[in-house]
A and B are shown apart, each in its own frame.
Chain A
């Protein structure tokens, strides 16, 4: 008989153990696969969003002035040699309402005016239902599918454009936009309609904000060069890469977290694989002794075990890959259903799948090789000694389980195919190292922990609880590693949950900081600054203050050229007194004083970091066609008023905005209620006022717009990944407990022969599982918090300006979930244990 056949027979002789081992490997690989795929969804979503927004366009020429392009400029663009198609897009915010009735509702939507024929040549319509715009039926419009569903609209719904000076115009929904392309803008509160119709619908025509150009191959540079010569109106050129970069920049800080999540997935998966193999193969030293006694050389022993390892590795990894893709499909489906993330399909990235496959196979083979190597060195006599308990020392197993998990993470951190954002690699790896080391420490400290935690269970379950608790001390390595498997999954949940919650707290704090008073209003037709506060005062009961925030486009000029920026004027005293803005560089009181004195600016941090600007530096800002003016940097703020770039606006004093940038009107106003007015009542008052003024009531979250939504998407994705870790942890427990029960068959037979009932056996195994869950849950809370702290302190401190936000409810839930999941996971092995025929159990010993 060949060695290969012996290897195969060795596996076939123990079908249950082999199946459970393959299942363990598969679970680890599935987690790695699903994590990689789910993480990738974020990057794919950003890329797809940018591509769909541009469609076939190579270049977007955007009007610099708020007035937009004139029709003459559009014609000039069409006539540039090399331009095959040009699609102008007019844009304005507008009010729509439902048909008049006692319950009629009013909404503010982003209206995009397109020329249907030109538009069809540039962008795919991406409709979930209905048909595209028909030039012969100008009152037909497309709206975001999600927005329509939320408000109970569908194909054929008739709406009314209001707030314009030309009376009320009716429109009818003819198509629903998917959440890509235009449908991804303004949270789906978007309406695409015929540009000419839009121009005539309101008193002031909607400005043409940009023209997308489809350029002949190899003519892009020529067209870009021709633009300067052709265009007489100020413009900015963008490409799809710019759009991708802008969208990605908004999520850059959180890409680091996605990276961390991926590595945690790798660590947990590798731990699971190594643990399963460690449990399985280290038990077989006696078998090796038999083979050695029969004349097999050490090399042959190694060969047999490596072949077995290879079979397990390939079977487990392939199964895990399929399982992982299935899990990822479920996760993606869930995310799509909640519309938390822009995904339209499974991101089957070959790099990610290959990485999962290679890691799974490599970790399994390494895990198989180590005990085989160790066993091959054992003398046959020693291996066959009846009292020998092979491989049961904790120190003997932990190093390689830890080594493999860390090696997998190190390999993953090099090969991980996704963006790392601003995360420090050292900090991220430190967090993963804390996770693995903490888990191993739990394995070492299991006995005292279980003795303590198991007391209530022993009291509650009686003899079954006592035995269940005592079972944990039977094979401390096995139990330690089982607890470790659960703890590492739950600790990942705690860490990810705490990191998510901290990131959310920071994001909320940032978002809240941009709007003094917490409320605001945005007028579709901006009112003149003079006299408006009185009008607001009269129109909004309970108003304490109204502060205008005018915004204008400008360019930041330096030696490298000019870049487009937004400039917003603020009242320094209002922002200072209301506690608005979070300073990351510069002293708060000094900065506001400087702003009041004039000639100073506050920079949004991403811009300051990118341009290397610090307080005291001088920046030059210019309006189109005007000479640059110098301003001194007074400070850097974490998050600024959203503007036309993803950085946010550069802030100047309202006086400077009026005097040096010539603003006369403000669309955005910050509003604060009087102290005795409840927040909800004030929001209601603002909404009522806005409805009558063709204006949009705002909260800080609403104002934060895309940034807030992108945070929500990423955090939502993390929550799902954390959930995945729990599911995998539960399956890991079923696996390990099943192995344990299979090997304790005789002992269970002894207990049954002495009168233990089926129910008692089940209770004993479930109690054991529950204690494992409680110990794992409590340990997970401690380890998870430590990992979260490491991440926050060393990984990406900028993303956690609000510090560590501990979700206490999650901590309690994790312990309960640990007990609950482990108990549920214990039911199958418990039933299996109880069903074992007693006489079979008594015959069974290895």
Chain B
């Protein structure tokens, strides 16, 4: 399979009271097209920083990130933004939606930002809303939706442009068990059925168990890589056993 995302020796340091805090200390990884990869770690381990660098939201202190053949670490802000718009989709834990746009407009946001109108992409938006089960709520405002519904809209929006890679940062962290499961099922479905490449950051083993492969991060480095393979049952026990062995 083609490598769609590659990180080479990523280092990220932040200035802190005259010194420097190293959030990432030389991380390298690659993700193949259609693969579902989870990044796990405790709070402060550097997993969210890694996701930000992989998605081009931030620039590494050193190292490179290549998305679908484009080295975004060498691009200026404008080019990096356009690359991000074309090749990535994001789902965050909180406040994912723009409150002043309705559901359909939120899904169409990447198109609107690109200068298109909602009417130009009406079919695609309907298809996505159908997929996440919210077709009848297209005209609703975000504050009229439940937290789970808001995350489903966010997922539909992240998939709107059929990005090379979908990056999700704790997408179930703010949801109850059932609703979280619905979101994870949707993510897995988009990967399995549509071939969407996904990188999921989570501290929850149950969520990580949906992935084909799990990267365990500690102190800004990849501590271990756990190969789970594509499974329909999303059984978490094998993963939990491996994590326990690592002392997590």
A462, A470, A754: most-surrounded residue (chain B CB, <10 A): A754
Taking a contact as CB atoms closer than 8 A, the residue among B77, B90, B115 that contacts A753 in the complex is B90
Q: Tell me if B78 is interfacial: C-beta within 8 Å of chain A.
A: yes
What is the bound-complex CA distance between A759 and B52, given in angstroms? 21
Query: What 1/0 mask marks residues of chain B from 93 to 123 whose CB sits below 8 Å from any chain A CB?
Result: 0111111110000000110111100000000
Instruction: Please tell me the number of chain B residues within 8 Å of chain A, measured between CB atoms.
Output: 30
Q: Tell me if A813 is interfacial: C-beta within 8 Å of chain B.
A: no
Tell me whether A467 and B84 are in contact in the complex, defined as CB-CB below 8 angstroms, given that A746-B95, A755-B110 are known contacts: no
Cross-chain contact A463 with B113 (CB below 8 angstroms): yes
List residues of chain B with CB within 8 A of the CB of A755: 81-82, 84-86, 110, 113-114
List residues of chain B with CB within 8 A of the CB of A839: 49, 52, 57-58
Cross-chain contact A842 with B115 (CB below 8 angstroms): no
B196 CB to closest chain A CB, in angstroms? Answer: 16
List residues of chain B with CB within 8 A of the CB of A746: 95
B219 CB to closest chain A CB, in angstroms? Answer: 19
Cross-chain contact B58 with A838 (CB below 8 angstroms): yes
List residues of chain A with CB within 8 A of the CB of B112: 462-463, 466-467
A699 CB to closest chain B CB, in angstroms? Answer: 60
Query: What 1/0 mask marks residues of chain A from 831 to 846 whose CB sits below 8 Å from any chain B CB?
Result: 0000001110010010
List residues of chain A with CB within 8 A of the CB of B82: 755, 757
Q: Tell me if A751 is interfacial: C-beta within 8 Å of chain B.
A: yes
* Chain B residue nearest in CB terms to A474: B100
Q: Tell me if B152 is interfacial: C-beta within 8 Å of chain A.
A: no
Within A735-753, the residues touching B (CB, 8 Å) are 746-747, 750-753
List residues of chain A with CB within 8 A of the CB of B99: 474, 747
Within A761-791, the residues touching B (CB, 8 Å) are none
List residues of chain A with CB within 8 A of the CB of B57: 752-753, 838-839, 842
Taking a contact as CB atoms closer than 8 A, the residue among A473, A757, A759 that contacts B100 in the complex is A473
Q: Tell me if A471 is interfacial: C-beta within 8 Å of chain B.
A: yes
Tell me whether A758 and B77 are in contact in the complex, defined as CB-CB below 8 angstroms, given that A463-B113, A753-B57 are known contacts: yes
* Chain A residue nearest in CB terms to B118: A466
B58, B77, B90, B100: most-surrounded residue (chain A CB, <10 A): B100
Within A466-525, the residues touching B (CB, 8 Å) are 466-467, 470-471, 473-474
List residues of chain B with CB within 8 A of the CB of A473: 100
Q: Tell me if A760 is interfacial: C-beta within 8 Å of chain B.
A: yes
* Chain A residue nearest in CB terms to B78: A757
A763 CB to closest chain B CB, in angstroms? Answer: 11
What is the bound-complex CA distance between A845 and B99, given in angstroms? 15
Q: Tell me if B55 is interfacial: C-beta within 8 Å of chain A.
A: yes
What is the bound-complex CA distance between A760 and B96, given in angstroms? 19
Q: Tell me if A186 is interfacial: C-beta within 8 Å of chain B.
A: no
Report whether over half of chain A's contact residues are helix, strand or loop; otherwise say mixed.
helix
B58 CB to closest chain A CB, in angstroms? Answer: 5
Query: What 1/0 mask marks residues of chain B from 167 to 210 whose CB sits below 8 Å from any chain A CB?
Result: 00000000000000000000000000000000000000000000
What is the bound-complex CA distance between A757 and B113, given in angstroms? 9
B236 CB to closest chain A CB, in angstroms? Answer: 28
What is the bound-complex CA distance between A559 and B89, given in angstroms? 96
Taking a contact as CB atoms closer than 8 A, the residue among B52, B81, B94, B109 that contacts A845 in the complex is B94
Q: Tell me if A801 is interfacial: C-beta within 8 Å of chain B.
A: no
Within A453-468, the residues touching B (CB, 8 Å) are 462-463, 466-467
* Chain A residue nearest in CB terms to B114: A755
B108 CB to closest chain A CB, in angstroms? Answer: 9
List residues of chain A with CB within 8 A of the CB of B92: 750, 753, 842
List residues of chain A with CB within 8 A of the CB of B95: 746-747, 750, 845
Cross-chain contact A757 with B98 (CB below 8 angstroms): no
B176 CB to closest chain A CB, in angstroms? Answer: 14
List residues of chain A with CB within 8 A of the CB of B114: 463, 755
Cross-chain contact B84 with A753 (CB below 8 angstroms): yes
What is the bound-complex CA distance between A746 and B157, given in angstroms? 17
What is the bound-complex CA distance between A467 and B102, given in angstroms? 11
Cross-chain contact A747 with B113 (CB below 8 angstroms): no
List residues of chain A with CB within 8 A of the CB of B101: 467, 470
List residues of chain B with CB within 8 A of the CB of A824: none
Cross-chain contact B81 with A467 (CB below 8 angstroms): no
List residues of chain A with CB within 8 A of the CB of B90: 753-754
* Chain A residue nearest in CB terms to B158: A754
* Chain B residue nearest in CB terms to A462: B115
Within A701-753, the residues touching B (CB, 8 Å) are 746-747, 750-753
Tell me whether A754 and B100 are in contact in the complex, defined as CB-CB below 8 angstroms, given that A462-B115, A747-B95, A845-B94 are known contacts: no
A448 CB to closest chain B CB, in angstroms? Answer: 16
* Chain B residue nearest in CB terms to A835: B77
List residues of chain A with CB within 8 A of the CB of B113: 463, 751, 754-756, 760
What is the bound-complex CA distance between A326 and B90, given in angstroms? 51
B169 CB to closest chain A CB, in angstroms? Answer: 8
Tell me whether A758 and B78 are in contact in the complex, defined as CB-CB below 8 angstroms, given that A467-B100, A474-B100, A845-B95 are known contacts: yes
B191 CB to closest chain A CB, in angstroms? Answer: 20
List residues of chain A with CB within 8 A of the CB of B49: 839
List residues of chain B with CB within 8 A of the CB of A760: 113
List residues of chain A with CB within 8 A of the CB of B98: 467, 470, 747, 750-751
List residues of chain B with CB within 8 A of the CB of A467: 98, 100-101, 112
Taking a contact as CB atoms closer than 8 A, the residue among A471, A754, A845 that contacts B110 in the complex is A754
Query: What 1/0 mask marks residues of chain B from 54 to 71 whose CB sits below 8 Å from any chain A CB?
Result: 010110000000000000
What is the bound-complex CA distance between A839 and B169, given in angstroms? 12
Cross-chain contact B96 with A752 (CB below 8 angstroms): no
List residues of chain B with CB within 8 A of the CB of A466: 112
Query: What 1/0 mask marks residues of chain B from 28 to 54 whose CB sits below 8 Å from any chain A CB?
Result: 000000000000000000000100100
A476 CB to closest chain B CB, in angstroms? Answer: 11
List residues of chain A with CB within 8 A of the CB of B94: 845
* Chain A residue nearest in CB terms to B53: A839
Cross-chain contact A470 with B100 (CB below 8 angstroms): yes
B83 CB to closest chain A CB, in angstroms? Answer: 9
Tell me whether A752 and B81 are in contact in the complex, defined as CB-CB below 8 angstroms, given that A839-B52, A842-B57 are known contacts: yes
What is the bound-complex CA distance between A471 and B101, given in angstroms? 9
What is the bound-complex CA distance between A463 and B109, given in angstroms? 9
Cross-chain contact B81 with A758 (CB below 8 angstroms): yes
Cross-chain contact B81 with A756 (CB below 8 angstroms): yes
A470, A471, A750: most-surrounded residue (chain B CB, <10 A): A750
Cross-chain contact B100 with A463 (CB below 8 angstroms): no
What is the bound-complex CA distance between A757 and B110, given in angstroms? 11
A469 CB to closest chain B CB, in angstroms? Answer: 9
A466, A471, A753: most-surrounded residue (chain B CB, <10 A): A753
Tell me whether A757 and B81 are in contact in the complex, defined as CB-CB below 8 angstroms, given that A463-B112, A751-B113 are known contacts: yes
What is the bound-complex CA distance between A755 and B90, given in angstroms? 10
B99 CB to closest chain A CB, in angstroms? Answer: 6
Cross-chain contact A750 with B86 (CB below 8 angstroms): no
What is the bound-complex CA distance between A845 and B96, given in angstroms? 12
A-B pairs with beta carbons under 8 Å apart, 28 shown = A462-B115, A463-B113, A463-B114, A467-B101, A470-B98, A470-B101, A471-B100, A473-B100, A474-B99, A474-B100, A750-B92, A751-B113, A753-B55, A753-B57, A753-B90, A754-B85, A754-B89, A754-B113, A755-B110, A756-B81, A757-B77, A758-B77, A758-B81, A759-B78, A838-B52, A839-B49, A839-B52, A839-B58
Question: Chain B: residues with CB nearer than 8 A to chain A?
Answer: 49, 52, 55, 57-58, 77-78, 81-82, 84-86, 89-90, 92, 94-101, 109-110, 112-115, 157
Sorted from nearest, which 3 A-B pairs have the closest CB atoms?
A755-B85, A470-B100, A463-B112
Question: Chain A: residues with CB nearer than 8 A to chain B?
Answer: 462-463, 466-467, 470-471, 473-474, 746-747, 750-760, 837-839, 842, 845
